[in-house]
Structure 1
């Protein structure tokens, strides 16, 4: 089961109490204090584990408590430190305070291990309080209480490209063709109920990750359908790919307009993300060059013949080659518009190389790429 939002309670251990004890040996009268210190309480850690990709394991356990420290003993014996709790989470997990909704931690890299709650300190035994005035202290410290927090875990998948489109436009087929993902595919809407990740390897030396989320419908940003629940999973992507149905009974222009509106309502930052467009289902008898021409005219783009990526000669394409860093590129327009067929794989391999080129360019020339 795919779970991407849970709340849990975490608490560190209480420190053990110090001991009140006096030295007792044969032939030794009035032995001095020898009460040992209590052990520190256990700590709470978060550890990022790339072998997990969901928060489903947290649905069965609500409380995560580190062990308390053991009390001190006689003969200056210190108590044992409480056992730590290590909570493993998938990469991309954000930790929020449940009450204030403040972001506490954002775990984006594998292998990170971070202490989030420190255990209570163990109390001093009475041997610590011996001095020239008080030779026989009869008191010791109690251990300090641990920390407790109610937090919310939210998973945002980490991917380079996010697929955006209405239900049944062919997103699942596309990601299954260009990547190693194996999503459920059927000839009806909403076959995708959870996000899917796929690794695309256009050549031997390069790869990137594509995320497919459930289809967006009208009003998704207001809570309708499944798309709004998973739009957070494409917030980390560097690039968005709009998948539009290019058949005659579907209007690519209206699809495009509605998707842009839903993205803007959800997140202004996501709305301004660089993006491209594919017009899918060129294998359909209803698909025509007119759909492409009308779409270009609506966006004010000029179609051109591009052969460098191995694109089919049956269609015209648009690829924006204006340098980003010079400020000449209009980021409110797609960086490319390519007709494809996910079913018959027309232009899908070429698309994987176009996406690779775009990502490499974004990684080396944009502020986001330089920071990452």
Structure 2
């Protein structure tokens, strides 16, 4: 999937259908001069319904079409015939999509299961026909109710990527390179920061035909929790990952400090993210010999007592199989 087709944030305008008018018909038939009221009810206006679809991965189908209208209810007619209901409009979304009211930014609901349906806007109720209003003192009512108008709303659809493992790190830490080595994904790779602007997904093939999904998320910078850089646009994707893989390059000035900054950004965005399983990988270790790796291990030991860490290289494949095994073990604990 190309980067331009990974759409994870869209705004749409939706309208539900108007209810149909009730009929004020009076029954007429040969030899029946005054048959009385027999006007039917109007049909219900169409709902706007959001539906989960496990076969969708992005919101790209809303990239160019932004307006959706449900059908109007038909008017009632003679012989107490009720008008047809308006056609419902379905917005199909991938699992993990959050629906917000654009004007208030309030979360309306979230779609997490396949074929799950939620009515986001109800259609207008059809008006009642005149036969509902007849009484001993008003035997020929010549009026009926109009239908209730439909509703309109501006909605924001936000996709939070559903993946087993999420790659977390500063820009240019080697996340896209690692994804390309561990999976068949072909993310854009370059030697500058923020090469990755949209999440990339890949399937890691493990032993015995087992697999899990890994997500390469755009790099975090200090202040991301306040929206700096790409801020909230990518931090929300981390909420959906079962395990977090922190990637820190071996040529970093201070590995412990970099790890602490990453943890602090996650904590400030959502403290619950720190409850997720996590593992640290020191990348770009093809430039280190065994002696230097051992020295770094001794320096890191005090700050990494509570988390597993290992040294890897996407170029030389150092530690890649061990990393796959560790991630699989964490996912199946």
Q: Judge same fold: TM > 0.5, yes or no.
A: yes
Match of 2:163 among 153, 159, 162: 159
How far the C-alpha of 1:35 sits from its partner, in A, is: 1.5
Residue 300 of structure 2 is aligned to residue 338 of structure 1 = no
Contact 1:216–1:228 (8 Å) recurs in 2: no
Residues 59-118 of structure 1 show CA distances to partners (whole Å, capped at 9, x for unaligned) of 434432211111112233321211111011111111123343332211122221222322
Specify the alignment match of 1:4 in structure 2: 8
2:30 to 23, 26, 29: 26
Map of 2:244 onto structure 1:
240
1:237-289 CA deviation, whole Å, 9 max, x = no partner? 22211111113x64322322322232223222223433110111221257831
Q: What value does the CA root-mean-square deviation take over the aligned residues?
A: 2.2
Q: Find out whether 1:264 has 2:236 as its counterpart.
A: no
Aligned position for 1:110:
114
Change (3 A) 1:190 1:262: same
Match of 2:212 in 1: 208
Unaligned 5+ runs, structure 1: 302-332, 362-372
| Paired position in structure 2 for 1:318 | none
Structure 1 counterpart of 2:284, from 281, 284, 296: 281
TM-score normalised over the length of structure 1? 0.81
| 5+ long unaligned stretches in structure 2 | none
2:64 maps to 60
Structure-2 separation of matches of 1:76 and 1:220: 62
Whether the 8 Å contact between 1:39 and 1:122 is mirrored in structure 2 is yes
**Corresponding pairs, count:** 327
What does 1:343-362 correspond to in 2, within 5 Å?
343-361=315-333
- Asked if 2 retains the 8 angstrom alpha-carbon contact of 1:252 and 1:291, the reply is no
Match of 1:95 in 2: 99
Please, what TM-score do these two structures have when normalized by structure 2? 0.89
- The yes-or-no answer on 1:225 pairing with 2:229 is yes
Which structure's relative contact order is higher, taking Cα pairs within 8 Å and 6+ residues apart?
2
1:40 alignment partner, one of 40, 44, 56: 44
